[in-house]
Amino acid sequence: WDEWVPESRVLKYVDTNLQKQKELQKANQEQYAEGKMRGAAPGKKTSGLQQKNVEVSEAAQYLFFCAAPGTGEGSSTSETPQPPRKKRARVDPTVESEETFMNRVEVKVKIPEELKPWLVDDWDLITRQKQLFYLPAKKNVDSILEDYANYKKSRGNTDNKEYAVNEVVAGIKEYFNVMLGTQLLYKFERPQYAEILADHPDAPMSQVYGAPHLLRLFVRIGAMLAYTPLDEKSLALLLNYLHDFLKYLAKNSSALFSASDYEVAPPEYHRKAV
């Protein structure tokens, strides 16, 4: 889930490979079921905690694996678009019904009250005042996520819980890099984004952008959660981690968000943004 797979490593959409996919899915389900039985064995005080963290980790991996390929900028190939669409429609015979899907749409990621004014200020600075967030950011997304992971480690988490945090942090980073160019920018920022791509062609955007754009991700991420067939328990566990990270942003908001990180766009930029 954490790797961009080149076209040369993608199996052709033929019956033999579809059968192999089903066999691998079945083997994975059996392995997971066996792991759950071991995790639930009596007499182990930590079994409940371990099982909870395993579920969070697997939910995070599945969430980010499902969402990332479909919205990234590098997902197109030289082939015609029809085979991928057909393949996506037949991923699994146990695909959710429309009714079940609709029940999952209302996923609410709660933005802390302390952070909402920053969303408003960010919008106002860019869309009304025609300013731009200074890039590369003084504190980029990668370093914010790394600081959060280190903060959680310093609080004496168990190895399993630490692993789950690392999975969620890696997933947030992947989500950010995939969604930034398509869903997290205001129209006025697009010429700046094009310049960044030209100046930093090999750099992940999480190494360039900072806290305001990361916060925008959490306004959008609830809609992405609707596309993942996670059960209610797994989704609740994952949301707990996302909300915990948002609390961390709120706690450190004075260091992460500042109007001084924006600059007035020059006249030549305005011509590009028209």
Q: For the chain, where are the alpha helices, taking DSSP H only?
A: 15-39, 47-71, 82-89, 98-104, 116-123, 141-154, 159-183, 190-199, 211-225, 232-251, 253-256, 267-273
The pTM for the full model equals 0.65
**CB contact at 8 A, 242 and 168:** yes
101: in domain: yes
Tokens representing residue 183 in the block: 């869903």
The total of structural domains in the chain comes to 1
Residue 28 belongs to domain with CATH number: 1.10.274.30
* Positive/negative CA dihedral, 154, 137, 196, 187: positive
Q: Is residue 254 part of a domain?
A: yes
Residue 61 placed within a domain: yes
> Is the residue at 155 inside a domain?
yes
Other CB atoms within 10 A of residue 251 CB:
13
pLDDT truncated to tens, each residue of the chain (274 aa)? 334 445 555 555 556 766 766 676 666 566 555 554 444 444 444 445 455 445 444 545 554 444 343 333 333 333 333 444 444 444 454 455 566 555 555 678 999 999 999 999 999 999 999 999 999 999 999 999 999 999 998 887 666 677 788 889 999 999 999 999 999 999 999 999 999 999 999 999 999 999 999 999 999 998 888 777 778 888 888 899 999 999 999 999 999 999 999 999 999 999 988 8
Give domain status of residue 231, yes or no. Answer: yes
Q: Is 142 within a domain? A: yes
Domain extent, residue 114, equals 7-273
2 belongs to a structural domain: no
Confirm whether 1 is domain-assigned. no
